[in-house]
Amino acid sequence: MTIVPPIPFQTAQTLPDRVAFDRQELGLILGLYGRMVAAGEWRDYAMAFLGDRAVFSVFRRAAEVPLYRIEKTPRLRARQGQYALLGADGQVLKRGPDLGAVLRPLERKLIRPVD
């Protein structure tokens, strides 16, 4: 009789690492998203959790390229900051270690003069 060794369970060490937004980060992003939807600026979003970064993309319409991308890249934490706000053409609009400060240029778009 042959003894077959058991197949090891997949543990956190064997699973591929993925970067994701935590609850607090998603709270900030989705709070801004909700205000922009209420203002009629944004209509759709998409999230991607990749091996080296997490991306939250914002769309005006579902069939377009994203207006903005909010990226979290932990390996840049010690250098430029792990959060980045990118425009539709891929240009970095703001980068830093604090997500609230990175989202601030988008929040300024909500401020409008009242007649």
For the entire predicted model, the pTM comes to 0.78
Tens digit of each residue's pLDDT, the chain (115 residues):
677 777 766 555 554 578 888 899 999 999 999 998 888 888 899 999 988 889 999 998 767 788 999 999 888 888 888 999 998 888 999 999 999 999 998 887 776 666 6
DSSP one-letter string for the chain: -PPPPPPPPP-TTTSPP-----HHHHHHHHHHHHHHHHTTS--EEEEEE-SS-EEEEEESSTTS--SEEEEE-GGGTTTT-SEEEE-TTS-EEEEES-HHHHHHHHHHTT-----
